[in-house]
Amino acid sequence: MKPLRIGLLGIGTVGGGTFDVLTRNAEEISRRAGRPITITHVADKATALAEKVVAGRATITDDAFALVKNPDIDVIIELIGGYGIAKQLILEAIANGKHVVTANKALLALHGNEIFAAARAKGVIVAFEAAVAGGIPIIKALREGLVANRIEWIAGIINGTTNFILSEMRSKGLSFTEVLKTAQAKGYAEADPTFDIEGVDAGHKISILAAIAFGIPLSFVKAHVEGITKIEAKDIRYAEEMGYRIKLLGLARRREAGIELRVHPTLIPAKRLIANVEGVMNAVLVKGDAVGATLYYGAGAGASPTASAVIADLVDIARLIDADASHRVPYLAFQHDRIGTEPVLSMDDVETSYYLRLRVDDKPGVLADITRVLADNQISIDAMLQKEPEEGEAQADIILLTHETIEKNVKRAIAAIEAQPSTSGKIVLLRLENLA
């Protein structure tokens, strides 16, 4: 059978890893795919660097648009990243009848609905396993392995940079700023780490997972996204004392009124497996009505793990390229005319448990005033930790864990408690998920 001919856009870290793995394991991959898979053309502005990687085994060009129009190419791998030129190239590739593999979670989260519509009209495949959680095959698990299930919720540690920072803060008692510098020095964080530490990267990924799990359009613009920049070492320490660990969690949950879609620092019971995922590793926990909870763990980034996912998509395309388009797995798991219309809920309507840290006067009656406000807002306390005032101080930290309640009730209660003269400064709010 004739080889599947690949055009690679971008031969940086992941592109180089893809070229290396595909070349190194060519025979094994061919045996699985039923035909050879060969990168025949590479487009990159840094042609000299591309030549070093390719070493004469593929044609190099700096004209990506010429490559996506090349009639001798069957599949385009897009590893450029970003929203601009990458989108134009993918749409041009689709218009020219090319199948597409991409690791571009940001592009899909924002423009995936348009891209999938264009691909469906042209009858080509858009595959994106590498867009979420690197080498973990979570897209395939949701689209195919768990197809019999009504997915109830997904909770994921899907950003290695933030997981490394929180792990180091917990194990070494360091501040966020100190650990961020370490992460940058080790290459785990970019010089501008905003997308990671502000939760945007995780927001892109959980939006993709939610669309596949629940059969809804990609809805990143409606997601609640919060990062870890305000996490203090003392909150990590207090959470640990109460049996919890703080992780940046991407969470999507089906409710009667709609879909919760959110990213934020979250307390998770330390006894849960996902709470013990440390360093730059990723993990995704999926709860289905038939299978129960299933956990997927592994490297969420890096040249070889991401290449593993890219090549898995290539093998799928090699197997399906001659199949009728109507017999392929739908891009978002559900048939395009059966995509749902459930709304994404605002954070005010989200129902979860909460961690509240208050700085209050150390005197009789203060706690009673606080519990009264909570009760007035239908909030019940699950656990409490009261710290002794430091020497010479008249105020102390009180940490409250609540039972599940509606977020707007919590916000209303916080405003009332902060208005009391016995409360100092702002109350720290973190959300808590038991993931039982």
pLDDT tens for each residue of 220-241? 999 999 999 999 999 999 999 9
How far apart, in whole angstroms, are the C-alpha atoms of residue 72 and residue 53?
Answer: 22
Which residues, other chains included, contact 88 with Cβ-Cβ below 8 Å and sequence gap of 6+? none
Position 392 pLDDT exceeds 80: no
Active-site residue flag, 87: no
**Can you give the residue ranges of every domain in the chain?**
4-135+303-338, 141-298, 351-432
pLDDT band at 331 (very low <50, low <70, confident <90, very high): very high
pLDDT given at position 324:
87
pLDDT given at position 322:
87
Pick 75 or 323 by higher pLDDT.
75
Burial of 5: CB neighbours in 10 Å, binned 0-12, 13-18, 19+: middle
How far apart, in whole angstroms, are the C-alpha atoms of residue 248 and residue 233?
Answer: 15
Position 318 pLDDT exceeds 80: yes
pLDDT given at position 326:
84
Position 162 pLDDT exceeds 80: yes
CB 193 within 8 A of CB 180: yes
pLDDT given at position 221:
97
Question: What homologous superfamily does CATH list for 351-432?
Answer: ACT domain (3.30.70.260)
pLDDT given at position 327:
86
Catalytic residue among 87, 98, 105, 205: 205
pLDDT band at 1 (very low <50, low <70, confident <90, very high): confident
Strand (E) or helix (H) holding 252:
strand 244-255
Q: Is 118 left (phi over 0), alpha (psi -120 to 50) or beta?
A: alpha
Q: Which CATH class is domain 4-135+303-338?
A: alpha beta
pLDDT given at position 389:
84
Q: Is 302 left (phi over 0), alpha (psi -120 to 50) or beta?
A: left
pLDDT given at position 390:
80
pLDDT band at 202 (very low <50, low <70, confident <90, very high): very high
Q: Is 236 left (phi over 0), alpha (psi -120 to 50) or beta?
A: alpha
Whole-model pTM above 0.85? yes
> Would strands 258-269 and 428-432 be described as parallel, antiparallel, or unpaired?
parallel
Determine the straight-line distance between the first and last CA of the chain, rounded to whole angstroms. 49
> Would strands 395-402 and 281-288 be described as parallel, antiparallel, or unpaired?
unpaired
pLDDT given at position 282:
98
Q: Which CATH architecture has domain 141-298?
A: 2-Layer Sandwich (3.30)
Position 155 pLDDT exceeds 80: yes
Give percent of the chain above pLDDT 70: 100
Summarised one tens digit per residue, pLDDT across range 258-313 is 999 999 999 999 999 999 999 999 999 999 999 999 999 999 999 999 999 999 99
Q: What is the CB neighbour count within 10 angstroms for residue 224?
A: 19
Position 83 pLDDT exceeds 90: no
pLDDT given at position 388:
87
Position 344 pLDDT exceeds 80: yes
pLDDT band at 394 (very low <50, low <70, confident <90, very high): confident
pLDDT given at position 391:
76
What is the mean pLDDT of the segment spanning 187-203? 96
Collapse the DSSP code of 98 into the 3-class scheme (helix H, G, I; strand E, B; otherwise coil) and give the result: coil
Distances from the Cα of 60 to the Cαs of 53, 145, 194, 227, 311, in angstroms?
A: 11, 38, 33, 40, 20
